[in-house]
Chains A and B, each alone.
Chain A
């Protein structure tokens, strides 16, 4: 019995460490490249990578929840664009920045809520509903912005993503701190709350969850609404970074977000995944991009490498989970 318990403990440790090892491997490779050795692991570069990761990371927090619950959200990137446009529009219209930010986040939440409501009411697969929403949100963003960029006056909102934050004791951009705080919060929600356990149960076997009295529809709507709120926050960060509301921003970003979750051990058939894993997935991709750029490698090399990593990560995951039955 003791041997068995040690084994399972060892296995959990390996499961936890595997994505970490991937990240360390990538860091090791780039920091041993003679060309960029001196710059790659410098604090300034790490800060910049962290700041660059914020937008994908916030999206990935919500996406992790959605994927664990057995769903998918293809509208994430469009939702980010829409929220950033709404934020810019509101600031431009003279609203106080705080209100504008709130409006941006709520827009994201509303899109997510509609996703969830449609998926549960129409009983259609999330792929279809969110694919439709991907087009709708993008279209609405362009409509609001009148197919242009919305210029907005500079406010404190634009400092959320500043690489050197104003009170210098902050060390990292406020956006990075927000990302960390929300990541911890979501990890706690998933592990220690009734809602979190219900999401896992729904993703693993929705019929069983229903039979056990889990209010599956309600939980799913909440899941998509939370994912939407994170997209809204991510949209605010996008606006903060660009200082304009651009309806054409973040095209295809939903795939980066999904990739991060999957690299981090999320299963597209539901029931598996973790916030820590997804965050590591985000950083694996961010460091790759950063390293490749510093090396002066062309874009297509990055794309190929990231493609390979996705496939490798998921196959490794399968091997790790192979059961002896």
Chain B
């Protein structure tokens, strides 16, 4: 139960702070949120800078080109960069957090050498082609087909909820190679070049009015067999291996940001006089407890992950992530409900940042596994309740 930092951890934090203080003032102005090429350029510029300073792939293993940092150092990195107002991982998200680690864990030496360095340098953007219109929570029912034709797969189908598809170079694609095998056993993981003939991207407009993600249509797209990571029909396992790469740090930056928003909200309420409303005040107080606890839960998960790694494991059990994600996504929605209460009629004004955040927050209990799916995971895998239907 030790929450103090070691001298090494303090030293890491101090060096990072110094670097951030020097680097951040030299950043270009933030791009228009609707200008995707500009966003890509901005995000990749930040990744270039991290790479030059030795912070790229901080939590990746050294043999994959990463820094081999401890989970605690990674936590400090995310905490400090968010606190300093540094850019988010943005367009680098899939490459750095999922596709890259998958290739690092399951790829051949040639595949690692080809795809990992450009991800770390910020030269190439990856997107994710897992979900389909008819395969959401039930991902293993996906139907996009890949048929072997010589040294190529011919891929036909459609993917949905693909972030950064318009500006991505590569897509990590989950396809069905054996339609006769049991659902989880007929899938294969492929790296799809987004400029291949037959790939069509159609942006999807969210309820917030922006185009945060897209539908990707695949019409007889030819993908070389050498782009397959892992064995044919072993794609489900390959994909899940990476999910355990998560070290409990997935939402660190967001929780730091939420705690800052909460303080701003309290100050705003004080200024406008809404602070005198005891109901609003108590909701703010409860949220403070909520995010304080969520921060401690992150530290708990990171400690577990660090222990696991020291003993040859990969990271935190996915169930810990489910528990955190469940509580966090509801807390974040409540945060913007309270923000609306603090704003009063201004909550109807779309130029208010908190109004826009309130809209975005509606996706938290849906994206990356709905709250209902997380409940089921916890009930079956942690509590050991018999499988339902």
- B is bound to A: no
